[in-house]
Amino acid sequence: MKHFETELIRYKENNLFVENVSIEKLAEEFGTPLYVYSKNHFINQYKRFENAFKEIEFQIFYAMKANYNLSVINTFIKLGSGVDANSEGELWRALKTGIDPSNIILTSVGKTRHEIKLGIEKNILMIKAESEEEVMLINKIAEECNRTANVAIRVNPDVDAKTHPYISTGLSGNKFGIDTKTALSIYKRRSEFRNIRFTGIDMHIGSQITDIDPFIEAVEKLSELYFDLKNQGLQFDHFDVGGGIGVAYNEDSVFSIEEFAEKTIPIFKELQCKILFEPGRFLTANGGVLITEVLYNKKNGDKNFIIVDAAMNDLLRPTIYEAYHHIQPVKKHNRIDLIADIVGPVCESGDYFAKNREISATKSGELLAIMSAGAYGMVMSSNYNARRRPAEILVNGNKYDLIRSRETFDHLIWDEKII
Nearer CB in complex with ligand PLP: 278/351: 278
DSSP 244: -
Position 279 contacts ligand PLP (CB under 6 A):
yes
Among 281, 325, 357, 388, binds ligand PLP (CB under 6 A): 281
Q: How far is the CB of 301 from ligand PLP (least distance, A)?
A: 39
Position 90 contacts ligand PLP (CB under 6 A):
no
Q: Which of 12, 302, 336, 347 is catalytic?
A: 347
Burial 310-342 (b: 16+ CB within 10 A, else e): bbbbbbbbbbebebbbbbbbbbeeeeeebebbb
Please say whether the beta carbons of 116 and 141 come within 8 A. yes
Among 244, 288, 377, 390, binds ligand PLP (CB under 6 A): 244
Q: How far is the CB of 311 from ligand PLP (least distance, A)?
A: 23
Among 90, 130, 134, 278, binds ligand PLP (CB under 6 A): 278
- DSSP for 84-109, please give it: EE-SHHHHHHHHHTT--GGGEEE--T
Candidates 201, 218, 200; CA nearest to 209 is 218
Position 243 contacts ligand PLP (CB under 6 A):
yes
Q: What are the angstrom distances between the C-alpha of 65 and each of 15, 141, 275? A: 31, 26, 21
The angle formed by the CA atoms of residues 294, 296 and 298, to the nearest 5 degrees, is 130
In whole angstroms, give the CA distance from residue 155 to residue 62: 20
Position 207 contacts ligand PLP (CB under 6 A):
yes
Site for ligand PLP in 10-39 (CB under 6 A): none
Nearer CB in complex with ligand PLP: 168/304: 168
Among 23, 63, 229, 310, binds ligand PLP (CB under 6 A): 63
Please say whether the beta carbons of 301 and 83 come within 8 A. no
Nearer CB in complex with ligand PLP: 278/366: 278
In whole angstroms, give the CA distance from residue 16 to residue 20: 10
DSSP 346: S
Position 170 contacts ligand PLP (CB under 6 A):
no
Q: Which element (helix H / strand E) includes 337?
A: strand 337-343
Candidates 246, 296, 238; CA nearest to 268 is 238
Nearer CB in complex with ligand PLP: 112/272: 112
- DSSP for 6-56, please give it: -SSEEEETTEEEETTEEHHHHHHHH-SSEEEEEHHHHHHHHHHHHHHTTTS
Nearer CB in complex with ligand PLP: 175/411: 175
Binding segment (CB under 6 A) for ligand PLP, from list 62-70, 268-276, 288-296, 334-342: 62-70
Nearer CB in complex with ligand PLP: 33/170: 170
Specify whether 145 is catalytic: no
Site for ligand PLP in 107-136 (CB under 6 A): 107
Nearer CB in complex with ligand PLP: 63/141: 63
Site for ligand PLP in 248-267 (CB under 6 A): none
Q: How far is the CB of 61 from ligand PLP (least distance, A)?
A: 8
Q: How far is the CB of 66 from ligand PLP (least distance, A)?
A: 5
Alpha helices in 55-168 (DSSP H): 70-78, 88-96, 113-121, 132-144
Return the C-alpha torsion angle 209, 210, 211, 212, nearest 10: 80
**Residues at the site binding ligand PLP, with contacts judged by CB under 6 A:** 63, 65-66, 84, 107, 204, 207, 242-245, 278-282
Task: Name the residues annotated as catalytic.
Answer: 347
